[in-house]
Amino acid sequence: MIKRGDGNIPVLYARGKSIPEAWENSIVRLYQEGLLWNRGDIKDQGKPVLDSSMTMIITNPDSDLFFHKYMIASCRPEDLFAYQMEILGAKDSWVHTEPGSTKWSYHYHERLADYPGVNGLVDQIQKAIDSLAKEKWKKRQNIITWVPERDFDAPDPPCLQSLWFSIVPDELTGDDSFVFNMNYRFRTRNVMIASPMNMIGLNTLDSYVIDKVKEKSGIKLRKGRIVDSTDTYHVSGQYSHLLSGFIEWLQASKQRGETIEDRCLTRESTLVGMNKEAIMADLLEQTKKELVEKREYTDRRFEEETAKVRGISEEVSRINGY
């Protein structure tokens, strides 16, 4: 690790065929070349933050290597499935925009699908789908979360900033097929906590958009690489023990001759057997509480939210294949 710096956050790169491989490689690069500095945040408990600007390239996002085994202790498969549902809109109704609220002022899907534009709410996801299906060569398919009027002074503004989509011909197949590329950018992300779930969640959204574009356009379209960029990709002081624990675990794994395949769970081993009805029940119980607190609860509204959550669960199951 870099012990001293010249004030420049290092710009690092990592690559992997699968999401967990890219994540693992990014941690190694951060550990080896990141910048240690004291930012004075009380949450760091007097310890330095290990920082970088990181770009990850996932060449096969739908690889059967689905989830890193090191994350099992802090993230259950049920939590992961619930997060995939959140990324497709299952928690949009939980957002509190009333002044003075200490609850979440956004969810990523809520900002992407109900962005507060000057002339009303904008469904950026649907606009991108419609545009890509009609004029796939255009490079304006950029959707954002940041609302300056709300976020500059918010206690917890969105970490995810934007997603960009592009469709490019696959000239090697000779069958008039196309490849769907996605880039996304975070302003900040804690490596050991948020990154793996973010990556799987946004890959779920990628699959959703691809499927809708195919339905509307009829073109042959497959998923391509994903570029994951973060302005400050870091391990804060309070989570430094997770980083050191991971490095020790990884070194021991390699000494045993294990490969990335040994350190990952497949899609099937991660997802098969989970209780999806229990996941939906938990989501709907909290949905009801949030609607009551916002004074928006009616039987009809809750029925609509129930149907929405059930539909999203089915969509995530279809995308996952389980």
Q: Where are the domains of the chain?
A: 11-320
Q: Tokens representing 56? A: 């990850």
Q: Tokens representing 204? A: 């779920």
Q: Is the dihedral of CA 108, 110, 114, 118 positive or negative?
A: negative
Q: Which residues of the chain have pLDDT under 50?
A: none
171-177: long-range contacts (C-beta < 8 A, 24 or more apart)? 175/220, 176/219, 176/220, 177/219, 177/220, 177/221, 177/222
SS3 assignment, position 56: strand
* Phi, psi dihedrals of residue 296, rounded to the nearest 5°: -115, 5
Q: What is the pLDDT of residues 146-186, one digit of tens each?
A: 999 999 988 899 999 999 999 999 998 888 899 999 999 99
pLDDT at 46: 85
CATH 3.40.50.970, applies to 11-320: no
Q: What is the pLDDT of residues 217-271, one digit of tens each?
A: 999 999 999 999 999 999 998 899 999 999 999 999 999 999 999 999 999 999 9
Q: How many CA atoms lie within 13 A of 200 on its CB side?
A: 29
Amino acid at 78: E
Kind and range of the H or E element at 224? strand 220-234
pLDDT at 3: 58
Q: Cβ(237)–Cβ(49) under 8 Å?
A: yes
> Would residue 216 be called left, alpha or beta, if left means φ above 0 and alpha means ψ between -120 and 50 degrees?
alpha
Amino acid at 116: P
pLDDT at 4: 64
Q: What is the DSSP letter of 44?
A: G
| Distance (Å, whole) CA 44 – CA 213 | 44
| Distance (Å, whole) CA 216 – CA 214 | 6
Q: Tokens representing 41? A: 């945040």
pLDDT at 317: 96
* Phi, psi dihedrals of residue 204, rounded to the nearest 5°: -65, -45
